[in-house]
Amino acid sequence: MFRVGKMAGLSSYEKRVVMKKKLREYPVAERPAALGLEAADISALHTGLTLEAADHMIENVIGTYALPMGVAQNFVMNGRAIEAIPMVVEEASIVAACSFAAKLARNAGGFTAGSSAPIMIGQIQVLDVPDVDLARSRVAAATQDLLNWLNAENASTRSRHAHAVDIELRTLPAAIAAHWLIVHVLYDCGDAMGANLVNTACEALAPLIESLTGGRVHLRILSNLSDHRTVWARCTIHVSDLVAEGAAARIVEAGLFAEFDPYRAATHNKGVMNGVDAVAVATGQDWRAIEAGAHAWCARSGRYTSLTTWRVNPVGDLTGFLEMPLAVGIVGGATRVHPAAQTALRMLGVTRAHELAEIMACVGLAQNFAAVRALALEGIQAGHMALHARQIVVAAGAHGAQVETIAARLIAEKNVRMERARELVEQGNKE
Ligand code: MEV
């Protein structure tokens, strides 16, 4: 069952935001303070992960690897303004495009978003089941006892924050799996992503499942197709904000291309995930799990399709809708050890995992709108070129004000290439 997300009032971080001019007009080092961040958070953003903390996270650590963190602005979700949404990403134009889309959505009241209960699925693969029908009915009859055992009796799965809520049984096509039974253990994971607890529960249940089914348990692992833990976001864009003649219809045509063609859907969805992943990385989430779930969800009908739909409503405005599985946590995992991820969560002012998921869905929808609008109206390269030119110019050795002037010259000459950028930098250095 879906609910519309609700967030508490302003966080203490948001109350401190006092910007006297646009964020980008502050020197880069002054932006965190302008956003109201306190000294400890600013130092977390600048230092990132210490070597010592990194050494505890994975094996054979030799260093840490930094990426830019930017913030998307202009978001309103369920009536609440979200001052700054942290995004960690290497691709130019994503943050700016996201803020631009959020601004247009804000003109029409902002995003609405909601989510289901945070239910994860653990899978137990049972093979060599002598009588699958009998096994099904025996596991079904024992469901309540198994849930009680997980939630109250077994020490490794008892938790105050998460609990097993149901068991579902599935079979697969008889040609290969005539004697297989797939047991799904459903867990309400609360504010955790839940992978550890669900995997522990699957392993703990295995002997009980073997004795009930008479089969042999093989794999015991969480499913990343978390289709019981979904999130949705919706927005409207006023047709007057789209400016170009027939723009809404052209954006709908672009969206339909993705709905019906998997080749286009893959790229369209990459645009959605540009936003979702950037917030996932900033907040310390398992973005591979999110990606895997999103794409499996898109293929659930047997034909890969788009994560979003775009339509024109009866008054001629554009409406967008996104629904996807989104397993995120605000306790445990990298959120516990990565100081910049903790800062990112504080900036978002989220106190529950579903609030984070709802924000990520809005960012995904905004990102998708920005990409599809650009593709449908002016082509993606116009906007990309300016940012690409700046990157080339920096790589060619330009500094300070040189960056903007040389980038503008490359664009005017329609020659955004490294050799030309180097020539202009050398010329500039001699003058
Ligand atoms: C590029 O990172 C993302 C886009 O290709 C998305 C899309 O085509 O919709 C622009």
Q: Among candidates 351, 251, 320, which has minimal Cα distance to 102?
A: 320
- Give a three-class secondary structure readout of the chain: CCEECCCCCCCHHHHCCCCCCCHHHCCHHHHHHHCCCCHHHHHHHHHCCCHHHHHHHCCCCCCCCCCCEEEECCEEECCEEECCEEEECCCCCHHHHHHHHHHHHHHCCCEEEEECCCEEEEEEEEECCCCHHHHHHHHHHHHHHHHHHHHHHCCCCCCCCCEEEEEEEECCCHHHHCCCEEEEEEEECCCECCHHHHHHHHHHHHHHHHHHHCCEEEEEEEECCCCCCEEEEEEEECHHHCCCCCHHHHHHHHHHHHHHCHHHHHHHHHHHHHHHHHHHHHCCCCHHHHHHHHHHHHCCCCCCCCCEEEEECCCCCEEEEEEEECCCCCECCHHHHCHHHHHHHHHHCCCCHHHHHHHHHHHHHHHHHHHHHHHHHCCCHHHHHHHHHHHHHHHCCCCCHHHHHHHHHHHHCCCCCHHHHHHHHHHHHHC
Number of domains observed in the structure of the chain? 3
The pLDDT score that the predictor gives to residue 254 is: 98
Report residues whose beta carbon is within 6 angstroms of any ligand 1 atom: 91, 267-268, 270-271, 274, 371-372, 375, 380
Ligand 1 atom having least distance to the Cα of 268: 9
Pick the residue whose CA is nearest to atom 2 on ligand 1. Answer: 271
Does the active-site annotation cover 91?
A: yes
CA 257 centroid distance within chain: 23
Q: Among the three residues 206, 223, 240, which one is the final residue of a domain in this structure?
A: 223
Going from the Cα of 274 to the center of ligand 1, the distance in angstroms, rounded, reads 8
Q: Which residue in the list 184, 384, 388, 404 is annotated as catalytic?
A: 384
Does the active-site annotation cover 419?
A: no
Q: Among the three residues 171, 190, 223, which one is the final residue of a domain in this structure?
A: 223
Strand partners, 126: 181, 217
The pLDDT score that the predictor gives to residue 378 is: 84
Ligand 1 atom having least distance to the Cα of 271: 6
The pLDDT score that the predictor gives to residue 428 is: 86
Ligand 1 atom having least distance to the Cα of 254: 9
The reply to whether 360 and 234 lie within a common domain is yes
Pick the residue whose CA is nearest to atom 4 on ligand 1. Answer: 271
pLDDT tens digit string along 351-396? 999 999 999 999 999 999 999 999 999 887 776 777 788 889 988 9
**Phi, psi dihedrals of residue 113, rounded to the nearest 5°:** -150, 155
The pLDDT score that the predictor gives to residue 12 is: 66
Expressed as residue numbers, the domain containing 206 is: 119-223
What is the spatial distance between Cα 413 and Cα 95, in angstroms, rounded to a whole number? 27
For residue 360 the two structure tokens come to 């990520």
Going from the Cα of 380 to the center of ligand 1, the distance in angstroms, rounded, reads 8
Strand partners, 223: 121
The pLDDT score that the predictor gives to residue 200 is: 98
Q: Write the CATH number for 351.
A: 3.90.770.10
Q: Write the CATH number for 213.
A: 3.30.70.420
Going from the Cα of 131 to the center of ligand 1, the distance in angstroms, rounded, reads 50
The reply to whether 149 and 287 lie within a common domain is no
What is the spatial distance between Cα 182 and Cα 86, in angstroms, rounded to a whole number? 39
Going from the Cα of 268 to the center of ligand 1, the distance in angstroms, rounded, reads 6
What is the spatial distance between Cα 132 and Cα 181, in angstroms, rounded to a whole number? 7
Q: pTM for the whole thing?
A: 0.91
The pLDDT score that the predictor gives to residue 2 is: 55
The pLDDT score that the predictor gives to residue 7 is: 66
The reply to whether 203 and 173 lie within a common domain is yes
Strand partners, 309: 321
The pLDDT score that the predictor gives to residue 390 is: 84
The reply to whether 236 and 373 lie within a common domain is yes
The reply to whether 53 and 158 lie within a common domain is no
Does the active-site annotation cover 286?
A: yes
The pLDDT score that the predictor gives to residue 400 is: 81
The reply to whether 193 and 240 lie within a common domain is no
Query: Which pairs with CB-CB distance under 8 Å and at least 24 residues apart come from 257-263?
Result: 258/305, 258/306, 258/308, 259/305, 259/306, 259/309, 260/305, 262/303, 262/304, 262/305
The reply to whether 142 and 9 lie within a common domain is no
Going from the Cα of 283 to the center of ligand 1, the distance in angstroms, rounded, reads 23
The reply to whether 246 and 336 lie within a common domain is yes
Does the active-site annotation cover 295?
A: no
The reply to whether 49 and 198 lie within a common domain is no
Residue type, 11: S
The reply to whether 133 and 75 lie within a common domain is no
The pLDDT score that the predictor gives to residue 15 is: 67
The reply to whether 349 and 217 lie within a common domain is no
The reply to whether 235 and 92 lie within a common domain is yes
Q: Among the three residues 360, 378, 396, which one is the final residue of a domain in this structure?
A: 378
What is the spatial distance between Cα 231 and Cα 256, in angstroms, rounded to a whole number? 22
Ligand 1: residue of 93, 94, 274 to mutate (most ligand atoms within 8 A of CB) is: 274
Per-residue pLDDT of the chain (431 residues; tens, 9 = 90+): 556 666 666 666 666 666 789 999 999 999 999 999 999 999 999 988 999 999 999 999 999 999 999 999 999 999 999 999 999 999 989 999 999 999 999 999 999 999 999 999 999 999 999 999 999 999 999 999 999 999 999 999 999 999 999 999 999 999 999 999 999 999 999 999 999 999 999 999 999 999 999 999 999 999 999 999 999 999 999 999 998 889 999 999 999 999 999 999 999 999 999 999 999 999 999 999 999 999 999 999 999 999 999 999 999 999 999 999 999 999 988 878 899 999 999 999 999 999 999 999 999 999 999 999 999 998 877 767 777 888 899 889 998 888 889 999 998 998 989 999 999 999 988 87
Going from the Cα of 371 to the center of ligand 1, the distance in angstroms, rounded, reads 6
